[in-house]
Amino acid sequence: MVKINECLLKMEKNNIFKNVALKVSEYKKKNPDKKIISLGVGDVSKPIVKPIIDAMHEAVDDLADSKTFKGYGSYYGYDFLKEKIIDNEYKDFDISLDEIYISNGTKTDSTSILELFDINSKICITDPIYPIYRDGAASLNRKVFILDIKNDLPVIPKEKYDIIYLCSPSNPMGIAYKKDYLKKWIIYAIKNESVILYDNVYSAFIESEDVPKSIYEIEGAKKVAIELRSFSKNASFTGVRCSYYIIPKEIKNNINEFWKRRTINRFNGADYIAQKGALASFLPESQKLIKDNIKYYKDNAKLLRKAFSNCGFHFIGGIDSPYLWVKIKENITSWEVFDIFLKTLNIVIIPGIIFGKNGDNYFRVSSLGKKKDVVEAIKRIEKYYNEKE
Ligand SMILES: *Cc1c(COP(=O)(O)O)cnc(C)c1O
């Protein structure tokens, strides 16, 4: 009989967000009259803006005509998109076309990039964490170590680690790392010859002056950092699938070249239609509409911040990120608070335990939903906590 890859046993058995969905659907079945509002969503609610849709329609038509038909594209993405990304996002950092890779989602990229590094590399993640890093590393039989969190920031370790996952703006913690802090990580990585995997998919949400939009704003970062970005959360591409990442040639051991070797053999390039859509996201008319969408989510976040602070909660986030990370007031677990929100308030939140053991005193609230739902949820939350106290 075939034997199964034992690494799979080390991964979470269920998609952990599925546990939330299961509980919600069970409750709905028993209480069909209740109007449930989700503040749990990690997905966007705004549709893709018109200029991008038009570009994707055109791209579909290209495929129907032998003169414009596209078969296999470049393994690393079309130059038209790479040039546009460099022009718009990396102009100041001297990034060349062969340092950027187009792909089909940061979820995939954040794990597959580990194939670059020795199997015995010491990988560190934070707790709480975007759980894909942890389970992705487990699936490749990599060993992970957990960084402590102090004052809401991962503590820079004394020991040497090879790979460090940093997520900023952070999912789930909702905060973004400032320049001064990131400088210390870059110094650490240079000293220890480590590589930082910088998940920056929420960069469009950054508004604080002292938070860099890209890790390459920090001096020396091109020697040690791989930045991962996606069109998912800003251009509503969660269903279209297009992402990119930068592997600077300055990183030691020629990893940029090795990544090309790996990618030629493992990937046939991102979708042409998605890449045409991503290209159109940089049109001035798209940029304007995308900014409006981000502002819409940010306005939701502002309302949520106000409501949770009116109700006496301690929380972080919701400024440079769509998420609020809220401390539980009572002496109960995050699944227990999930149940109270679901059954008493008919609101879905994400229990912090999903993101790691240290998350069990917290829950995550998302501003990516519809404004009318956010407003209704806030009414329920304020009523409940004001009557209670
Ligand atoms: C949503 C999300 C992703 C996934 O992005 P895709 O490009 O849609 O795969 C990656 N990292 C974090 C932290 C996210 O929240």
Look up the CATH number of the domain holding residue 362: 3.90.1150.10
Are 43 and 57 members of one domain? no
* Residue 1 resides in a domain: no
106 lines ligand 1 (CB under 6 A): yes
Q: Residue 138: its pLDDT value, please?
A: 93
From 110, 125, 165, 232, mutation site for ligand 1 pocket: most ligand atoms within 8 A of C-beta? 232
Using an 8 Å Cβ cutoff, are 16 and 327 in contact?
A: no
Q: Are 192 and 161 in contact (CB under 8 A)?
A: yes
40/65 same-domain check: no
Burial of 108 (0-12, 13-18, 19+ CB in 10 A): middle
Q: What is the pLDDT of residue 219?
A: 97
Beta bridge partners of residue 38, listed in sequence order: 348
User: 101 and 42 in one domain?
Assistant: no
User: Residue 14 has what pLDDT?
Assistant: 66
Residue 164 · residue 124 · CB < 8 Å: yes
- Do 99 and 113 lie in one domain? The reply is yes
Contacts of 135 (CB under 8 A, 6+ apart): 10, 11, 12
**Whether the CB of 105 sits within 6 Å of ligand 1:** yes
Would you state the pLDDT for residue 15? Answer: 67
* pLDDT reported for residue 168: 98
Q: What is the DSSP string of 25-71?
A: HHHHHH-TT---EES---S--SPPPHHHHHHHHHHHHHTTSTTT---
Query: How many whole angstroms separate alpha carbon 346 and alpha carbon 383?
Result: 13
Which residue type occupies 63?
L
Q: Tens of pLDDT along 230-255?
A: 999 999 999 999 999 999 999 999 99
Please indicate, yes or no, whether the overall pTM of this predicted structure exceeds 0.85. Answer: yes
DSSP label at residue 300: H
pLDDT at position 13 is 75
* Residue 311 domain boundaries: 6-48+285-388
The residue whose CA has the least distance to atom 13 of ligand 1 is 171
Give the per-residue pLDDT at 41: 80
- pLDDT block averages, 10 residues each, the chain of length 389: 89 77 94 95 93 98 98 96 98 96 97 96 95 93 92 95 98 98 98 98 97 98 98 97 98 96 95 98 98 98 97 97 97 96 97 93 97 97 88
Amino acid (1-letter code) at residue 254: N
352, 364 contact by CB (below 8 A): yes
pLDDT recorded at residue 10: 85
Q: Could you give the CA distance from residue 118 to residue 351 in angstroms, rounded to a whole number?
A: 34
| The one-letter amino acid at 157 | P
Clarify whether residues 29 and 79 are in a common domain. Answer: no
**166 CB within 6 A, ligand 1:** no
